[in-house]
Every structure is written in structure tokens, then in C-alpha cells.
């Protein structure tokens, strides 16, 4: 594989590792939704789609008619639409970084009692019937985060949005705990970025030729 395609494929992955590493090294809890989490991952692997299927199935006639910029923009737009469809089909999910389940559960229990007069726990599962939310608490020990995953297909999205907003406020009062894995993620991201930069610098002629071929010029 030429340096240009390596850069396109691995560049977004390097940025993703750096961002994920910085999040894990933060001293504060970070709350995000499953949709944002998957969207970020989809952008991270978009380089593989560009350097692989998109270039392979690039319509040459469209490049000649509209030009490479518009054609590639349409191809990437199709990828984003596919990613959006996947995200819309997902069940609600919340992800809390830099917090263990032992520290989250008391906060979540207090919040549940405030939001719904009839909360019920069954092991790690929580039901908020008046809010229309049923979830399971799933700790991810390696990344030191906790996921609140919807249990069952019948969910109230407005209830999930309210739970997210209230939980975000409650988490501001809690100190987080840094995950040492963040150092490994940042090291991997910097190593990838350095390798990509070296490959591009070492053979600029090959990069130019590959770019021309990619744009069908």
C-alpha cells in the first residue's frame, strides 16, 4: 500500500486514539451518548472506507462530468448517511467515562428516586416506569467507564434525554479517576501520527502519483 492510502486509512485512527487517551486521562467524569460514541468511531474508521470501497467503486464517468471534488463529496456523503442510519437504529445508551459503577450506582439511585416516584432495581437493571426508561448498568473495566444500556425495545426517548440532562448535572459534583490506559492510547496515537508523517515525507513523488490516480486525473 502506498503512503497516501496509509495516511488516509490510519490518520483518523491516530486522531481517535489521541482524543480517547485524553478523555481517559481527565480527572472529571465525562458523559456522552451512545450515538455520539458510535459517530466518533464511524469517523475514525472512515479512512478505511475512503481508501478501500469508495476508491474501488468510484464512478469514473461521474468524475468526468462533475469533477473529483463533487464526486468524492457525494461518496463521502453516502458514507455519512449510512452511518447516520446505523446510529438512528441503535437503542438509547449513555456512556460515562472515568467513573466506576460502585461510585455511579448511589448517584443513579438518588437521581432515579427524584425523577420517578416508582423506581425499581433488579440486580444491575433499573426501571423508571413513569419516565419510560428501562436500563442495565454495564461496567467496562478496561476503559474504566460505565454504560447505561436500554433494556428492551420500548423506550421513551424524551425520558432518556431528561435522564441524560439530570445525570450530567449530578456528575459535575463527582471527582473522576484517571485511567492509566490513556497513556498507552496517546502513545499509540502519537506513534501512528509520526509513522504517517515519515511515510509521506520519505516518498512525496509516490504520494503525488497516488493522489492523481485517486482523483482520476
DSSP 12-48: HHHHHHHHHHHHHT-SS-EEEEHHHHHHHHHHHTHHH
In this structure, are 2 and 86 located in the same domain? yes
Does residue 176 or residue 106 have the better pLDDT? 106
- Residue indicated by cell numbers 481527565: 26
Please report where in the chains the cell 492523481 appears, as a residue.
212
Do 125 and 161 fall within a single domain? yes
Conformation bin of residue 122: beta by default, left when phi > 0, alpha when psi is -120 to 50: beta
> Do residue 71 and residue 20 come from a single domain?
yes
For residues 125 and 156, membership in a common domain is answered with: yes
CA 68 to chain centroid, in Å, comes to 29
- Residues 54 and 102 reside in one and the same domain: no
- Are 104 and 200 in the same domain? no
**pTM of this structure:** 0.87
Q: Are residues 123 and 136 in the same domain?
A: yes
d(CA 20, CA 183): 10
pLDDT tens-place string over residues 176-215: 778 889 999 999 999 999 999 998 888 788 878 877 777 7
Total structural domains within the chain: 2
* Distances from the Cα of 22 to the Cα of 186, 188, 191, 192, angstroms: 7, 12, 15, 16
Q: Are residues 123 and 193 in the same domain?
A: no
User: What is the per-residue pLDDT for 2?
Assistant: 77
What pLDDT does 154 receive? 83
136 is in which domain, residue-wise?
A: 93-176
> Are residues 147 and 184 located together in one domain of the fold?
no
Amino acid at each position: 500500500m502506498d503512503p497516501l492510502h496509509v495516511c488516509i486509512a490510519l490518520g483518523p485512527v491516530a486522531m481517535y486514539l489521541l482524543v480517547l487517551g485524553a478523555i481517559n486521562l481527565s480527572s472529571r467524569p465525562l458523559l456522552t451518548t451512545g450515538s455520539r460514541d458510535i459517530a466518533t468511531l464511524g469517523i475514525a474508521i472512515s479512512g478505511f472506507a475512503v481508501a478501500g470501497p469508495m476508491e474501488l467503486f468510484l464512478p469514473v464517468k461521474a468524475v468526468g462530468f462533475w469533477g473529483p471534488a463533487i464526486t468524492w463529496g457525494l461518496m463521502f456523503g453516502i458514507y455519512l448517511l449510512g452511518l447516520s442510519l446505523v446510529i438512528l437504529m441503535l437503542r438509547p445508551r449513555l456512556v460515562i467515562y472515568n467513573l466506576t459503577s460502585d461510585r455511579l450506582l448511589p448517584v443513579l439511585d438518588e437521581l432515579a428516586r427524584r425523577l420517578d416516584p416508582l423506581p425499581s432495581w433488579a440486580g444491575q437493571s433499573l426501571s423508571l416506569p413513569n419516565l419510560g426508561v428501562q436500563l442495565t448498568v454495564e461496567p467496562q473495566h478496561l476503559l474504566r467507564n460505565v454504560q447505561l444500556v436500554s433494556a428492551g425495545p420500548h423506550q421513551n426517548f424524551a425520558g432518556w434525554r431528561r435522564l441524560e440532562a439530570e445525570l450530567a448535572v449530578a456528575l459535575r459534583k463527582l471527582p473522576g479517576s484517571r485511567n492509566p490506559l490513556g497513556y498507552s492510547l496517546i502513545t499509540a496515537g502519537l506513534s501512528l501520527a509520526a509513522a504517517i508523517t515519515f511515510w509521506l515525507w520519505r516518498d512525496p513523488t509516490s504520494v503525488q502519483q497516488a493522489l492523481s490516480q485517486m482523483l482520476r486525473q
